[in-house]
């Protein structure tokens, strides 16, 4: 085969070399056809069930070997479900009244899953999902389709998919994933953000047709820094990429050691460098990479991984663990930011023409105050004795902010009345990620203790460009003069009101942007943990005077391309 070179959007740094696993979630359509006799349909079901048992045993053994028996136990549980007499009984009932094995299976699974889901118990509700999963496996086998789910990855591979949802990405097993490449997605789509947090090489936005150009088992090289993918590389190419990988890794090791120290500019001014994380494991990673705090704890993954919102106790435990890992360093907890590209399965989401402009983030919290209050209680309780701050996402006006704060105050009163231990002095701030908030910072300062710029959404909304749409990803320009003016305006207006202004959008970790942001006087840069060593190194090379000079020059330019060219030149000269 001749080598093929393809290029996409570089989404997460790192080189991966290995075999491809094409992830193609299959639509399982039940064919409309006449059933055979009841015994014949039953025999088809039992044969498929046995095949499913063999598949599950294979998965159990692979996961047990790699991650231990506990991790693998889910596949054991699924095997037990296959033998459930209730399932077999229900299927027999349906085939006896003339249904095909596929129809009978799907009806029986639906009944059993609904029964479990309706039991008002967290454990049973979770089992309902498992029952559906088992049903899907048998149905796929009945339809004669191969297993292409992510759980079927048993050898370390590079995952290639049309797109990955945030939960797909979260379910990737790091031990079996060298990296991933998607046809869709943009630099700040949540799967790309998650890849950076996990330190997984990723390329997105390869364009549709990607899955026609490569198939499972092909051997490839990918470079998440340049966006290059080489199919069936020759030996020389493989050796070259192995060398680059080694050089980059040893540079990172040197920078990582230096990143243990706090960030200071070349003229000795302290600048806060924090990390964006989604769970406790990343908090440990953040500490290892020199984070001086957490500038953004994305709590929504807690809301996406289950069949119901997380309980107060579960949240309390997780937040507490993160605060403990961070050992007294400041942690900004963002309240749930679901909706948009992150809809949880248990909420009836209306079909929306524009989900990013729809029911998301603080809008959901204000409409569902019980879910919001549960989260605020958990954060405030966990924050006792720690250095925490709370941040609301997607605020666009003072009224909204006042309503959110009123709920926050009522939660504090309730905790006090119930004599529950909690942190009474937690500052409350907002993300500046809508253009409305950016131009209203002076007004919002009345009810916000601090601000953090969310440049992913701020760019999306300012440029009117969907952050996950590969087709228009070239227009997603966080260094566009319009976005930079809004950032400058936010920082200046926040400072004029005596407020701290940080940034937790992806721009804060981009070396091309850091000199400009430093010149704006940004108080804190929060980024994916692995970007921290390089950022601290760069800040250490810049004086405030130099940064202001760069900013002045950049702000006199008229397009994003001019600004990028200019800062790329500056970086090369440092
Ligand atoms: C942002 O919008 O910049 C941000 C940090 O939030 P998220 O990426 O989670 O939407
Ligand atoms: Mg956002």
Per residue in 410-435, pLDDT tens?
999 999 999 999 999 999 999 999 99
Give residue 68's pLDDT: 67
Using a 6 Å cutoff on CB, does residue 505 contact ligand 1?
yes
Between strands 450-453 and 228-231, the pairing is unpaired
**Cα–Cα distance for residue pair 10/533, rounded to 1 Å:** 19
Using a 6 Å cutoff on CB, does residue 457 contact ligand 1?
yes
Q: Which two tokens mark 471?
A: 């087709």
At residue 470, does pLDDT exceed 90? no
Rounded mean pLDDT of the chain?
92
Distance 339 CA to ligand 2 centre (A): 11
Ligand 1: which of 196, 360, 457, 468 to mutate, most ligand atoms within 8 Å of CB? 457
Whether residue 496 is found in the same domain as residue 362: yes
Using a 6 Å cutoff on CB, does residue 341 contact ligand 1?
no
| 190 part of the active site | yes
At residue 231, does pLDDT exceed 60? yes
Domain final residue pick, 142, 160, 191: 142
Distance 297 CA to ligand 1 centre (A): 11
CATH, residue 81: 1.10.274.10
Residue of 29, 23, 79 whose CA lies nearest to 50 = 79
The region of weakest confidence among 131-145, 210-224, 256-270, 521-535 is: 131-145
Distance 172 CA to ligand 2 centre (A): 23
**Cα–Cα distance for residue pair 100/214, rounded to 1 Å:** 36
The region of weakest confidence among 127-136, 219-228, 447-456 is: 127-136
At residue 305, does pLDDT exceed 90? no
Distance 472 CA to ligand 2 centre (A): 18
Q: Is residue 126 part of a domain?
A: yes
294 touches 526 (CB < 8 A): yes
Q: Is residue 500 part of a domain?
A: yes
**For the residues 60-66, what does the mean pLDDT come to?**
71
Give residue 3's pLDDT: 55
Whether residue 507 is found in the same domain as residue 411: yes
Task: Indicate the pTM of the whole model.
Answer: 0.79
Give residue 132's pLDDT: 85
Whether residue 193 is found in the same domain as residue 47: no
Which position has the token pair 């704890």? 297
**Cα–Cα distance for residue pair 491/500, rounded to 1 Å:** 8
At residue 166, does pLDDT exceed 80? no
**For the residues 68-93, what does the mean pLDDT come to?**
86
pLDDT above 70 coverage of the chain, percent: 96
Residue nearest atom 9 in ligand 1 by C-alpha distance: 298
Whether residue 385 is found in the same domain as residue 421: yes
Give residue 171's pLDDT: 67
Whether residue 315 is found in the same domain as residue 423: yes
Number of domains in the chain: 3
Give residue 1's pLDDT: 44
- Angle at the Cα of 299 from the Cα atoms of 294 and 304, rounded to 5 degrees: 150
> Which residues hold their Cβ within 5 A of ligand 2, which is an ion?
433, 454, 457
At residue 155, does pLDDT exceed 50? yes
Q: Is residue 327 part of a domain?
A: yes
Burial of 414 (C-beta count, 10 Å sphere; 0-12/13-18/19+) = middle
Give residue 9's pLDDT: 93
Between strands 228-231 and 4-7, the pairing is antiparallel
**Which residue segment(s) compose the domain that 87 sits in?**
38-142
Ligand 1: which of 187, 435, 505 to mutate, most ligand atoms within 8 Å of CB? 505
Ligand 1: which of 194, 393, 429 to mutate, most ligand atoms within 8 Å of CB? 393
Residue nearest atom 8 in ligand 1 by C-alpha distance: 456
Give residue 370's pLDDT: 95
Give residue 28's pLDDT: 83
Give residue 308's pLDDT: 79
Whether residue 243 is found in the same domain as residue 275: no
| 22 part of the active site | no
pLDDT in tens, 213-229: 999 999 999 999 999 99
């Amino acid at each position: 085969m001749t080598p093929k070179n393809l290029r996409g959007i570089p989404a997460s740094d790192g080189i991966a070399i290995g075999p491809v696993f094409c992830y193609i979630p299959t639509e399982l359509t039940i064919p409309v056809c006449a059933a055979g006799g009841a015994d014949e349909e039953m025999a088809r079901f039992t044969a498929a069930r046995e095949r499913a048992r063999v598949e599950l045993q294979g998965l159990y053994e692979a996961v047990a070997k790699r991650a231990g028996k506990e991790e693998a136990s889910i596949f054991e549980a699924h095997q037990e479900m296959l033998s459930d007499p209730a399932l077999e009984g229900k299927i027999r009932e349906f085939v006896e009244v003339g249904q095909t094995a596929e129809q009978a299976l799907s009806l029986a699974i639906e009944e059993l899953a609904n029964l479990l889901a309706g039991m008002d118990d967290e454990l049973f509700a979770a089992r309902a999902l498992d029952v559906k999963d088992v049903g899907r496996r048998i149905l796929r086998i009945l339809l004669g389709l191969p297993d292409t789910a992510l759980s079927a990855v048993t050898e370390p591979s590079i995952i290639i998919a049309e797109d990955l949802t945030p939960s797909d990405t979260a379910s990737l097993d790091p031990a079996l994933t060298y990296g991933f490449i998607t046809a869709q997605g943009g630099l700040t789509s949540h799967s790309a953000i998650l890849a950076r947090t996990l330190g997984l090489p990723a390329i997105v936005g390869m364009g549709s047709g990607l899955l026609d150009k490569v198939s499972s088992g092909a051997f490839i090289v990918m470079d998440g820094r340049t966006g290059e993918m080489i199919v069936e590389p020759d030996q020389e190419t493989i050796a070259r990429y192995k060398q680059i990988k080694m050089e980059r890794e040893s540079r990172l090791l040197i920078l990582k050691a230096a990143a243990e120290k706090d960030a200071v500019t070349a003229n000795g001014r302290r600048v806060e460098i924090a990390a964006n994380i989604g769970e406790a494991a990343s908090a440990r990673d953040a500490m290892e990479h020199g984070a001086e705090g957490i500038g953004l704890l994305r709590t929504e993954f807690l809301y996406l991984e289950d069949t119901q919102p997380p309980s107060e106790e579960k949240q309390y435990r997780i937040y507490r663990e993160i605060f403990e890992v961070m050992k007294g360093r400041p942690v900004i907890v963002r309240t749930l930011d679901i909706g948009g590209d992150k809809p949880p399965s248990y909420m009836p989401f209306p079909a929306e023409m524009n989900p990013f402009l729809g029911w998301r983030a603080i809008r959901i919290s204000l409409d569902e105050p019980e879910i919001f209050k549960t989260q605020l209680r958990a954060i405030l309780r966990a924050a006792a004795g720690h250095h925490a701050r709370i941040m609301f996402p997607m605020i666009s006006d003072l009224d909204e902010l006042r309503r959110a704060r009123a709920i926050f105050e009522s939660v504090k009163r309730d905790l006090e009345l119930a004599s529950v231990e909690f942190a009474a002095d937690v500052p409350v701030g907002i993300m500046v990620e809508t253009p409305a908030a950016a131009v209203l910072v002076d007004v919002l300062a009345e009810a916000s203790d601090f601000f953090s710029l969310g440049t992913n959404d701020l760019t999306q909304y300012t440029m009117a460009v969907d952050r996950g749409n590969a087709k228009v990803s070239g227009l997603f320009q966080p260094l566009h003069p319009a976005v930079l003016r809004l950032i400058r305006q936010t920082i200046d207006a926040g400072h004029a009101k005596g407020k701290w202004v940080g940034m937790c959008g992806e721009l804060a970790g981009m070396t091309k942007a850091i000199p400009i942001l430093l010149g704006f006087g940004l108080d804190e840069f929060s980024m994916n943990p692995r970007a921290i060593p390089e950022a601290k190194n760069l800040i250490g090379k810049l004086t405030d005077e130099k940064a202001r000079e760069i900013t002045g020059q950049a702000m006199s330019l008229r397009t994003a391309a001019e600004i990028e060219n200019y800062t790329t030149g500056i970086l090369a000269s440092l």
